[in-house]
Structure 1
Amino acid sequence: MPSAQQQTDNATRAVLEQLPTLTHHGLVVKAPPGAGKTTLVAQAAATLARSSGPCPVIAQTNNQADHLVQRLTDDHPHLRIARFTGVDNAAPHDLQAHTGIRVGTRIEDLERTADVIVGTAMKWATVTDRRWPWGVIDEAYQMRSDTLLRTAHLFDQALFVGDPGQLDPFSTAETDRFADMTHDPMSSAVAVALANNPDLPVRSLPVSWRLPASAIPLISEAFYPLTPFQAGSNAPDRTLTYLNAGIRLATDHVIEHAARTGWALFELPARTTHHLDSEAFHAALRIAERLLIRGATATCEQNPGGHKLRPKDIAIGATHRVQVGHLRALLARHYPLLHGITIDTANRLQGCERTVTIVLHPLSGRSNASAFHLDAGRLCVLTTRHRHACIIVTRAGIFELLDAHPSNDPVHPTPAKTPDGWGAHHTLLAHLAQHTIHAPT
């Protein structure tokens, strides 16, 4: 059987070799977390620029666009790279100062001197009088169908690259009235492209280079039942050990269990708290603090000698911005050792990778299970950022809450998403039952 690297190389080569001769309107590439989507996008853009002239690359956020520009510059220094940006969203200073990168707000100033032009979908939607043979759409499952409609005139064929298990497109406007219609703007660009072009070829990247071997069975079953994949590392390659002895705290039991198995669930007593749960916030911060106090040291295939965890190696994920605000305020007042860790929502953690992640469960402390909190993509993002271990903090009672579902959200006669949120939550919790550490009462 080919090695994980050979499987990745073969899958990538198959995509790149198919692009120049493709007769369909596009090609879809599905990829699990940490499978090398950015690498593929950069390679594809370079390949298409050589064969068909300037290649537009469409990202979904400015951060994603800036990251792609940096990656293209690092991996393909011979290419002339341009960052197509809005007047109010200037590129970071290091990109503007780079001699190999052109930054501009007008496509007329960039297209004649660039091989690859990277911008957000909303910026590309302002271009109305240009057309190229190919376009590359990064994070295509996050792109709304109405945004694809506004940019589809820019290219004859498109390469769609994205992760089907993560967050769907979102909008701050009310969209329920479109939910049972064929032109629902909240459908993803990929869903619409496949619905209108059912013969589009679909390929997959078969290996996650981020997730440890301990995570693959659960994540695959819960979020990618139709897209199996494997870990790029072997279980012995990644270890998490502690230089300092514990003192029999519950948080010590949690981080020790996570080090052995890759998972831990820290369960607080059942209580309705909704968004703001000070006890859960402190529990998450104390767990992060114990990782540093205990001198957590991680080894992996990239660093077999090991490195001692620093705050920047840890992330805490939450569901709501108000939770993030409270966590950051508590950290600033009470946890100086944690200065530098990442605390953010699932939406903003997409693309993030850390050694250890700590997750506030979306349904913890809730009295109902809304579609927002049940969303499988949100749970997938939160539980797939880690390279070594994921620790989930929650209140007891989620199984009962799930059994009391359906919620009061409206039901629409549209095809169900696979996997659905209810099933993904149940699968995750059933697995974590054997990894549960109960908080002292």
Structure 2
Amino acid sequence: MNANQPGSPAVEAARVVDAVLRDLRVGDHRGVVVDSPPGAGKSTLVVRAAGELAASGQPLMIVAQTNEQVDDLIERLGSRFPEVRVGRLSAVDYETSDRVRDHPACRVGAKVGDLGAPAVTIGTAAKWATVADGTWPWAIVDEAYQMRSDALLRVAPRFERALFVGDPGQLDPFSTVEVDRWTGLSWDPMQSAVAVLLRHNPDLPVHRLPVSWRLPHSAASVVAEAFYPFTGFRSGTGAEDRRLTFGAPASDPLDTALDAAAATGWGLHELSPRFTIRTDAEAAGACAALAGRALSREAVAFSELGERPLTPDRIAIGAAHRDQAAAIRAQLPPEAAGVTVDTANRLQGREYDLTIVLHPLSGRRDATAFHLESGRLCVLTSRHRHACVVVARAGIAELLDAHPSTEPVHLNVPVKFPDGWEANQAILAHLTR
């Protein structure tokens, strides 16, 4: 299908983006919400909206959740709108990154007054919470579903109207302290900013980006069914648009999963059933070895971006815990020294050609709320442009069937869909097929 043909992914996505920008310009509502599946162009929308608002002569503030996200947005703004003056709010000890330094019109400061009244002022939610003076006609809140509602409450006095953009299927906000005392309250600080916003403002316009440009045709329907059952989305590419091939033939048991992933987009490397400690050495070694095998077999990725060899920086290995990531990192072979190994929390928002996932429930005796959280598995299985290989010990399906929920049921708490059982079973069912 031609990219500009009616009904094509590009036309469908452009129609939604135009509707979002139209809602920003007209109407008397104080906010617009945009739900985005993985790789749907969320950052592109944020940058475009920022550029258009800045061009109208109205200064705006952008709220991101991490310094990495702030610097990424500044780099994107510099590429798309180099003439727009940007102010980067930062901590006193912040060391300017190369991406910020390369922006043609960006000033860094610890206070708003140090920035010289730029068209766009950008900082983390934590930094914005320290700003006590000044208001902006517009705000854009990036990764709004990962922002706690109490963080939104602290920055809300700074803006008049806002665009909230985020992915409802990703990880929820988290806290290291007990929060049960607020559970069920309409202003529970552990709810996401969007959840509380819509609970108190149900008439705000909500748009959904319909196309994932990251996930291949083989992954979009799987991820949508498991983690976005009521909204869904489609891939921006067709079944034949992306290929992953290996120059060297299979000669190792690990190659079975890699070949399946190259052919179908998904691979499962299943280890013998066993209860293990969290840093399962055999599973960690398998993850590291799979990355090494993919590189030693001279993999090549073909896509709409052209042909390029699979290099270490285009491979990621994801796990649930930092000690698991450290165990995998320690076993990486020399040829895989540049492979990214990290937790789901830190991989969120990033993109690779091949991902290898240590399943959160692999080798476990129980299924805790942390390991069952659908957002964690969603992040891990939605970072890839070509293929995803899951490493797991056999027995997860039986664990899910046998392990009852021990989490208390609270009044006035909206039921989260999908729950961890459904999401895990949907992914496992597809992998075993």
What TM-score do the two structures reach when normalised by structure 1?
0.95
Instruction: Work out which of the residue numbers 236, 259, 262 in structure 2 matches 1:256.
Output: 259
> 5 Å matches for 1:414-429?
414-429=413-428
Task: Report the CA distance between 1:111 and its aligned residue.
Answer: 5.1
Deviations 1:126-162 (A, max 9, x none): 1122111111000000000000000010111110000
Greater alpha carbon shift after TM alignment, 5-14 vs 307-316? 5-14
**Structure 1 residue 203 displacement after superposition:** 0.3
Look up the match of 1:9: 14
CA-CA distance at 1:181 after TM superposition: 2.0
Residues paired across the two proteins, number:
427
Deviation at 1:410, TM superposition (A): 3.0
Deviation at 1:97, TM superposition (A): 5.5
Aligned to 1:290, the other structure's residue is in SS state: helix
Q: Distance in 1 between matches of 2:374 and 2:141?
A: 23
Does the CA-based 8 Å contact 1:368-1:407 persist in structure 2?
Answer: no
Identity of counterpart residues, as a percentage? 54
Name 1:312's counterpart in structure 2. 313
Whole-angstrom distance in 1 between the partners of 2:52 and 2:161: 14
Structure 1 residues 156 and 94: CA distance shift in structure 2, 3 A: closer
Structure 1 Cα separation of the partners of residues 35 and 103 of structure 2: 32
Determine if the alignment matches structure 1 residue 236 to structure 2 residue 240. yes
Once superposed, which parts of structure 1, at least 4 consecutive aligned residues long, lie more than 6 Å away? none
| Separation (CA, whole Å) in 2 of partners of 1:407 and 1:271 | 22
- CA offset at residue 240 of structure 1? 0.8
Q: For 1:90 and 1:20, how far apart are their aligned partners in 2? A: 36
**C-alpha distance in 2 between matches for 1:152 and 1:52:** 21
Give the AA of the match of 1:120. Answer: T
Task: Output the CA distance in 2 between the equivalents of 1:387 and 1:307.
Answer: 13
RMSD of Structure 2 on Structure 1 (CA): 1.2
Question: Which residue among 170, 174, 177 is the counterpart of 2:174?
Answer: 170
Letter in 2 for 1:296: A
1:259 Cα deviation from its structure 2 partner = 0.5
Per the alignment, residue 346 of structure 1 pairs with 344
How do 1:7-86 and structure 2 match up within 5 A?
A: 7-51=12-56, 53-86=58-91
8 A contact 2:39–2:213 mirrored in 1: yes
SS of equivalent residue, structure 1 residue 236? coil
Q: 1:149 aligns with which of 132, 150, 153?
A: 153
The answer (yes or no) to whether the contact 2:33–2:165 under 8 Å persists in 1 is yes
* More deviation, 42-51/153-162: 42-51
The verdict on how the C-alpha distance between 1:3 and 1:287 changes in structure 2, with shifts beyond 3 A counting, is same
Q: Is the 8 A contact 2:82 2:104 kept in 1?
A: no
Q: 1:148 to 1:2 in 2, by over 3 A?
A: same
C-alpha distance in 2, partners of 1:183/1:98?
39
**C-alpha distance in structure 1 between counterparts of 2:95 and 2:156, whole Å:** 25
Hey, what's the Cα distance between the residues in 1 that align with 2:401 and 2:192?
A: 29
The separation in 2 between residues aligned to 1:133 and 1:240, in whole angstroms, is 47
Checking the alignment, whether the CA contact within 8 Å between 1:52 and 1:133 is kept in structure 2 is no
Quote how far apart the aligned CAs of 1:49 are. Answer: 1.8
> Tell me, which stretches of 5 or more residues in structure 2 are unaligned?
1-5
Letter in 2 for 1:360: L
User: Contact (CA 8 Å) 1:26, 1:159: kept in 2 or not?
Assistant: yes
- How far residue 408 of structure 1 moved from its aligned partner, in angstroms, is 3.0
Is this contact kept in 2: 1:69–1:82, CA < 8 A? no
Matches within 5 A, 1:113-262: 114-247=118-251, 249-262=252-265
TM-score relative to the length of structure 2: 0.96
Q: Give the Cα–Cα distance (whole angstroms) in 1 for the partners of residues 429 and 180 of structure 2.
A: 32
